[in-house]
Structure 1
Amino acid sequence: MKKLLVTFSLVALMFLSSVVKAADIVFIDVQTIVNNSKAGKDAQRLLEEAGKKAQEEVEAKQKTLKQDQKSQEEFQAFAIQKQQEVLKRRDELLSQFMNMVQQSLEKFAKEKNYSLIIDKQAVLYGKPELDKTQEFLTYFDSQYEKGPKIK
């Protein structure tokens, strides 16, 4: 009886493992999505604009700078403030972008019936057909064009 129970358990385990197919697990190169998606390019452009604007403000302030110690300290504080504003903007853009990616990944996984999507950087080996980066990039871009934009 015990052997029969063990045999039944093994058969049930093999059946369950065959239900969870490897095709339900895919991977995506998130860095490719960041670099090549429309949303990622918009975020990068906005960050560059913020950095350029801050740099122009710092350079304009530097031209009007007096050569005394107090002016130097004020200028340094101003430059640090501008740098912090750019870093804050970067964090805001990154947060917006990653929220969009996460929402699209969830929709994509449901539509494609994927159980698990892993970042390609965490994959030691994966069959090339499990790499869904380009498919998700196309999907993500189409979702981005329909929805709210990064701002």
Structure 2
Amino acid sequence: MTPLLPYFLVYLSGILAALPASQNFLFPYFLSLATAVTGALLFTQSRPKRFVKAMVLVLLFPLGFSAPGWQDRLRPEHHIWNHLQGGQRAVVVGWLEETPAVFKDKVRYRVRLEQIAYTGSPITVTGTARITHHKDL
């Protein structure tokens, strides 16, 4: 049985290649390349080698490369994360999911969202928001 480490390293190299930090590294994509080469070298040291195992090893790189974008592709179209505009005030419509948590200087609400509006007409959304209202001191 082939050890799992070569497969993991090649998958990890795909993830590292997809991350923007890898492009701005001292030597662009070096970490991803070094990880893939290490995985390939470890694979060549294992016995027995089979064509199917080698193909799985090769296909794990594109699978790892596509992994960081899975959350965006699997999220529903009306999810709140698709409509957030950071740093802007919004009007939200929803219902309280649990009793508000009251602290000394703030109150924290957990709201199941139904609609959100920034400046125009409201947009129907799904998701949960944690809204914190800070009290004036």
Could you state the TM-score of these two structures normalised by the residue count of structure 2? 0.31
Tell me: higher relative CO, structure 1 or 2? Use CA pairs within 8 A at least 6 residues apart.
1
> Which is richer in helix?
1
Q: TM-score, structure 1 length as denominator? A: 0.29
Greater C-alpha Rg: 1
- Name whichever structure is richer in strand by fraction: 2
